[in-house]
């Protein structure tokens, strides 16, 4: 039995929301991947990203993560 995933490729999960349906979509995306736009499965509207308290925070032009490990 091998490992199902590589430890060096942890995918952070971002939560996106549809403002029309109030549906949240957890989306995993690689850190090195550029930010993409996602559409609601229900109405097709563009999703916006929620900010996680205590998670990844944006500060000015850069960003940093408070999560360690």
Residues that bind Zn ion (CB under 5 A): 18, 20-21, 40, 42-43, 45
Query: Among residues 31 and 48, whose Cβ is nearest to Zn ion?
Result: 48
Query: Among residues 21 and 31, whose Cβ is nearest to Zn ion?
Result: 21
Distance between CA atoms of residues 65 and 67, nearest Å: 5
Distance between CA atoms of residues 46 and 57, nearest Å: 22
* Shortest spacing between CB 18 and Zn ion, in angstroms: 3
Query: Among residues 13 and 21, whose Cβ is nearest to Zn ion?
Result: 21
Strand partners for 25: 16
* Shortest spacing between CB 48 and Zn ion, in angstroms: 11
Distance between CA atoms of residues 6 and 65, nearest Å: 21
Q: Which residue is nearest to Zn ion (CB)?
A: 40
Pairing of strands 56-59, 62-65: antiparallel
């Amino acid at each position: 039995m091998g490992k199902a995933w590589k430890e060096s490729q942890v995918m952070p999960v971002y939560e996106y929301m549809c403002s029309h349906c109030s549906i949240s979509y957890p989306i995993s995306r690689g850190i090195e991947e550029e930010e993409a736009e996602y559409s609601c499965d229900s109405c097709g509207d563009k999703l916006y990203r929620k900010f996680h308290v205590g998670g990844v925070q944006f500060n000015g032009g850069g960003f940093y993560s408070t999560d360690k490990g």
